[in-house]
Amino acid sequence: GKSTQIDLLTKHFTKRRKSVIKTEEPGGTAGSNEIRKILLRENNFQWSVETETLLFMAARSDHVEKVIKPAIKDNKIVICDRFMDSTLVYQGMRSPKAKQLSLTLFELIAINPDITFLIDMEPEIALNRALSRSTEEDRFENYGISFQRQLRQNFLDVANKHSDRIKIIDGKRSPQQVAAQIIDCVETLVK
Ligand code: TMP
């Protein structure tokens, strides 16, 4: 559940008449959505992981410039499905050069979330869920279970390294229980 949780959090703030926008990566702008398509749908380009990183970062740059920074300037709460940590894990764990590249480019983007949630669950369950959705976007899900296990470990490592910003949430519980914990953390932060 990322999408479920993002919807529940957005609803929570909308009900309280807080200005909130919901967005996602890669995506959020017309240009970034085009980059998303070539990254996740068309499997025939065989990008190197470094080139893939440049594309994710280009999508992020456009998204931050056109959507996230203006929304923050307008005092809106921005809820984003994935951000820089996904690049550090998905691309960074496959190549130290890609990791360095993303960090260097991220300095130009110059914005960090106030809080990030990592919804943790067994990789087997997560993979089955992702595969059962049967979208055309199956690029990383096709890498199989050992890749998923590696992803989980790397996300946990990033979360432990930035424990002041990233909260690890136990995703085994009901969506309502997970949402209550997330809402509580964000409310504390907003206050
Ligand atoms: P999602 O919209 O279902 O989360 O899918 C996005 C996919 O893109 C997912 O497989 C993770 C991947 N991804 C990266 O590899 N690097 C990134 O920087 C981002 C934002 C996503």
**Mean pLDDT, 10 residues at a time, over the chain (191 residues)?**
96 95 98 95 84 98 98 97 98 97 97 97 88 76 87 97 98 96 95 85
Q: What is the pLDDT of residue 48?
A: 95
Cα of 55 to ligand 1 centre, how many Å?
A: 12
Residue 140 CA, closest ligand 1 atom number: 10
What is the C-alpha to C-alpha distance for residues 11 and 146, in angstroms, rounded to an integer? 36
Angle CA(29)–CA(34)–CA(36) in degrees, nearest 5? 90
149 CB less than 6 Å from ligand 1?
A: no
Cα of 191 to ligand 1 centre, how many Å?
A: 31
The model carries a pTM of 0.95
Q: What is the pLDDT of residue 138?
A: 62
- The CB-based long-range contact list for 95-98 (8 Å cut-off, 24+ gap) reads 95/49, 95/50, 95/53, 97/50, 98/49, 98/50, 98/52, 98/53
Residue 139 CA, closest ligand 1 atom number: 10
